[in-house]
Amino acid sequence: MRKVLLRREGTADWQQAREAMFQDEDHLQRLLYDDPRLIPFSDLGEGMLEPRVFVRESGLPGSGSTDLIGVDEEGRVAIIECKLATNPEQKRKVVGQVLEYAAYLWQMGYDGFERLFEKQYRTAGKDGLAALVGPEGDTEWSEAEFRGNVQATLEAGDFSLIIAVDTLSDELRRVIRYLNRRPAAGTTIYAAELGYFVGDGYEVVSPRLEGAEVSAKTGTGATGRPGWDEVTFFEAASKLCSAEVVAALHELHDFTLRESDNRKWGRGKNGSFTFRLVRAGITGSVFSAFASGSLMLNVGYLDGKVPDAAIQRFADDLTGLPGFASLPANLHAGRWVQYRIEDVLIDPIALQQFEEAVIRVRDSLG
């Protein structure tokens, strides 16, 4: 057992912290909830970030309550289950539990996922999950991109599954290594072993991640990226979408290059580009397209920037197109509305009419 020695800055004497036990699983859960940095998320892959917010004991229909669900500013989702060595479930049941929680989040819509965090963002005086997660002062961060990334994560079920323990049993270690050495299974589970020490007025947590080194070798770990470009975006789209959807994305991309004031590439795990407007000192955006095959209408970035009549005209134009019938009658109420491209823009005529509607919104800004 490695010793942990502490001393106060400016003093000469070191004291040895003594190894201690978490009071119970709730104690461990509360420590992680208060500070996600206690789990070394950066070890999961280059560019991985700690969650900006956690929700505790979130009930999912049929699956009980997850200990922690976290989301980072790029829309990645982590599911964490806490188990102490004294709990016999650490040996056999915990892997099934965390997979069951993931299965119930899989293909959940953004609105349903956001409701899991409602207490947190309302307590903080925010009007939604994105407002709670968004980093202050980061002008490159996009709510539309965040929402699209969360939706793509939910649709794919591409979660970080982490079992947080005080002591990792040999049985659990072996199960994790077995699962993670089978990349075809498509799911990676990690164990975060958190040693706990106390000293005179100190608490010390020493974390170690099991599973990250295996997923790095097999290529199954999730990684972030600093930004997308045309080549990487369409490489990803070709793997995720049909040829018809990829063709529609090419047309939307070419249209964005021709007609927008600025084409902005996303930075999240789900590749995206955005049709942006920069006119008369006003910045806004009309839509974002994602490599996963979805389209986001960014009305939240038009409110107060273009005339209300222009937004209503945009809604009326789209409602007449196949697949957009579910568009809110008052598009302001939707703020960010997402569709599958295969449902709305596969037909070349519909795609052309959509582009004409976007141009009318653009021109309303001058």
What's the pTM? 0.77
Distance CA 250, CA 256 (A): 10
Both 94 and 206 in a single domain? yes
Q: To which H or E segment does residue 326 belong?
A: none
Both 168 and 276 in a single domain? no
Distance CA 163, CA 189 (A): 8
Distance CA 143, CA 130 (A): 6
Both 62 and 202 in a single domain? yes
Both 196 and 303 in a single domain? no
Both 209 and 308 in a single domain? no
Helical packing angle, 308-319 and 348-364, nearest 10° = 170
Both 177 and 295 in a single domain? no
pLDDT of residue 183: 55
pLDDT of residue 90: 72
The 10s digit of each residue's pLDDT in 291-338 is 999 999 998 888 888 888 998 899 889 988 988 877 876 676 667 888
Domain that holds residue 34: 5-106+157-218
Distance CA 265, CA 229 (A): 6
**Parallel, antiparallel or unpaired: strands 189-199 and 160-165:** parallel
Both 97 and 173 in a single domain? yes
Of 196, 218, 240, the residue that ends a domain is: 218
What mean pLDDT comes out for the span 158-187? 82
Question: Using 50, 70 and 90 to split pLDDT, how confident is the model at 188?
Answer: confident
175 lies in a domain? yes
Both 35 and 177 in a single domain? yes
Q: Phi, psi (5° rounding) for residue 56?
A: -105, 145
292 lies in a domain? yes
pLDDT of residue 2: 66
The 10s digit of each residue's pLDDT in 36-57 is 889 988 887 656 788 999 999 8
Both 169 and 249 in a single domain? no
Q: Which of 166, 230, 134 is nearest to 29 (CA)?
A: 166
Distance CA 51, CA 221 (A): 17
Q: Phi, psi (5° rounding) for residue 357?
A: -65, -40
Both 179 and 317 in a single domain? no
Close Cβ partners of 320 (under 8 Å, ≥ 6 residues apart): 353
Both 195 and 331 in a single domain? no
CB–CB of 94/83 below 8 Å? yes
Amino acid at 279: R
Based on the structure, what is the number of domains in the chain?
2
Structure tokens at 225: 């990226």
CB–CB of 340/297 below 8 Å? no
328 lies in a domain? yes
